[in-house]
A and B are shown apart, each in its own frame.
Chain A
Amino acid sequence: MQPFSYSRARTAAEAVEAIAAGGQGTRFLAGGTTLYDLMKLNVEAPRRVVDVSGLDELADFDTSGESELVFGALAKMSDVASDERLIRDYPALSESLWKAASQQLRNMASLGGNLLQRTRCAYFRFGEPFQCNKRKPGSGCAAIGGIDRGHALLGGSEHCIATYPGDWAVALAAFDAVVDVLGPKGRRSIPLQELHREPGDSPDIETTLAPDELILRIRVPATDAGRASTYHKIRDRESYAFALASAAVAVAFEDGAVSEARIAIGGLATRPWRAFEAERSLIGKPLTEEAAKAAGARALEGAKPGHHNAFRIELGARTVADALMIAKARA
């Protein structure tokens, strides 16, 4: 691991000052479960690290608000996952957290850091001799034409097909969450759906967050569709694995017909992927198994298979369909 200088910030303002003063190669450290892991692999090699894990001002969360839920960026995944109100009123959000990682990692990982979790693409993580445009821009992509069983079917480019690995951001995408950030120029808010970028021709730039901006909190507008929601996650094993396919789904009904539908899919795309067309296909009709299957197929429209991952198109469509029926049963 490359040597780095280490400092602790006491306030968010101090953290942003420190990263601005540090210049290029300075990184925020929160739970460490992604950054420190990748530093051990020399995939991340910051010169300076600003530890923000002690910023108590960002550690709280509040799920009792009438108009919105507010999550501090440093709230721990495990604490939020077990919040009684969240489990009752927004089960998809709770499930997206407790179905991720292990309890040890959830005790460490922060909600803000989790949004920025980097891909599990083996060619990215394990370095030379493999090419990776994300790790080393311009070097090529060993995943394209390589072992791509877990790689993205949606949102890829000729330069990168690395899957966005997170669950929480997928559920947040379904609920139109907003991310508040602080940078040297002050505060701004980014819709969650605009936080993550598709790789295009610059896979190394993964988000619209500037390197000197700190996530302060995540806000989720309250919705009645929250109760009839689920985060359905299909894995190679039943627990502690990344998604082969997942779906965050929420529905509401009026007179037996769907009045609101929210669908985002995970494990299948280069970023959290909202399936608006699939949502629209459900509105105004009863939610039958046939309608759910059709919506699932629509959510995967445009999916581009590689050598080993075509099975995940059908798997993804069925995951969405099953999630819709699970959510319906909770209405």
Chain B
Amino acid sequence: MEDQQPRPPAHRFGGELTRREVVAAAGAVPLAAMLPTAAAAQSHLAGRTGHNEATVTVRTVINGTPRHLELDPRASLLDVLREQLALTGAKKGCDHGQCGACTVHIDGRRVVSCLTPAVQTDGAEVTTIEGIAPDDQLHPMQQAFIDHDALQCGYCTPGQIMAAIACVQEGHATSREQIREYMSGNICRCGAYVGIVAAIEDAAPKMRRA
């Protein structure tokens, strides 16, 4: 609603750099140096004051692997996954919980990782698109997205698939209407919605059998 109003110009975030500027400024710096910590790489942290006084120890399991992380409490789960753990399947779309591209599962429930402070995953199990099927196989939902041409550019697809798997597991994929309602948190700017709904309808019974 009010969000759709014209937004102020790009300099609205004060002295902060955009992600593009951060990446551009890094220039020829070796890749390892570009990805030091989630905090440093996170665009909305970059232009602000330096590091937090204290990091927080977090023990979490990500895609079945136990992780022991020292985190700046400002870091989002999305940034930790992408910048610290090189799990780049979850995508940064809006970074404000409005598009669903960053959807992952925490303890089996779908959430937006951009609005999840990573410190809140202590003791939790996180599953990303990289963790839904063994390396050499596709999850039935992934196969269904291919079969139904449920994407064009593909940027929203990992989030769509993570949301879709949860949608089926919750029991919210019993009709097209219900799929549309319970998938409304995942925006596809290419407009592949018809294929997405068809893919979920197709994968739901296969997931139940599996």
Contacts and interface: CB of A to CB of B under 8 A. Distances in A.
Contact of A32 (B51, B109, B116): B116
B74 A3 contact: yes
Given A5-B53, A108-B112, A122-B2, A239 B181 contact: yes
Contact of A103 (B2, B48, B95, B167): B167
B64 interface: no
B155 interface: no
A322 B54 CA distance: 54
Given A3-B51, A105-B112, A122-B3, A49 B73 contact: yes
A139 interface: no
A4 B52 contact: yes
Interface of A: 1-6, 8, 29, 32-33, 36-37, 39-42, 49, 51, 53, 78, 101-105, 107-108, 119-122, 125-130, 147, 149-151, 163, 165, 235-236, 238-244, 267
A241 B52 contact: no
B14 A2 contact: no
Contact of A149 (B5, B13, B109, B167): B5
Contact of B2 (A6, A78, A128, A163): A163
Contacts of B95: 40
A150 B184 contact: no
Given A126-B7, A127-B13, A242-B1, A104 B163 contact: yes
Contacts of B163: 103-104
A127 B12 CA distance: 7
Contact of B117 (A2, A29, A165, A243): A29
Contacts of A42: 13-14
B161 interface: no
B197 interface: no
A107 B103 CA distance: 12
Interface in B88-133: 95-97, 100, 103, 109-112, 115-117, 119-120, 122
B44 interface: yes
Interface string B29-61: 000000000000000110011111110100000
B46 to A, nearest CB: 10
A53 B120 CA distance: 8
A239 to B, nearest CB: 4
B58 to A, nearest CB: 11
B73 A6 contact: yes
A4 B5 contact: no
A125 B182 CA distance: 27
B53 A102 contact: no
A240 to B, nearest CB: 4
Nearest to A235: B1
A248 to B, nearest CB: 18
Interface in B150-200: 163, 166-167, 170, 172, 180-182, 184-186
B8 interface: yes
A83 to B, nearest CB: 14
A126 B182 CA distance: 29
B100 A102 contact: yes
A206 to B, nearest CB: 16
Contact of B1 (A29, A120, A239): A120
A128 B16 CA distance: 13
A327 B112 CA distance: 34
A52 B50 CA distance: 26
B69 to A, nearest CB: 14
